[in-house]
Homo-oligomer: A and B are copies of this chain.
């Protein structure tokens, strides 16, 4: 499942878990119907309290990202293709938000910031 957390990063653990699950779904690594590790297993794996994972899972369920059927394991909810695209954009937005804020604070002009971003995007494309 590849979930990793850094308890001393300032970002709450439960939010790190939520973000990574969302990202894995948006990227296709997790597909609708796929099972997630039980609360206790994951908490043990990450070395945190079960309640922390429970909280993350509940919020994800409330958001319709995960689905729970009583007695059955927690699974990824099915999402129609349109929503999946929107979700991808949301994920990207989240990553870009920090950079945008930094750019603004630095007084870096939009054109320049975009240029740097393009450069990095093409760099990544070539690597593969």
Contacts and interface: CB of A to CB of B under 8 A. Distances in A.
For chain A, what secondary structure do more than half of its interface residues adopt (helix, strand, loop), or is it mixed? helix
B117 A113 contact: yes
Contacts of A105: 23, 27
Interface stretch (A1-9, A37-45, A68-76, A89-97): A89-97
Interface residues of A, number: 40
Copies of the chain in the assembly: 2
Nearest to A120: B100
B118 A114 contact: yes
B110 A122 contact: yes
26 contacts: A27-B105, A27-B107, A84-B106, A84-B107, A88-B102, A88-B107, A89-B106, A89-B112, A89-B116, A91-B102, A92-B113, A92-B116, A95-B103, A96-B96, A96-B99, A96-B116, A96-B120, A98-B99, A99-B99, A100-B117, A101-B124, A103-B121, A104-B121, A104-B128, A110-B122, A114-B118
Given A92-B102, A100-B120, 7 more contacts: A88-B102, A89-B116, A95-B99, A96-B120, A99-B117, A100-B123, A110-B121
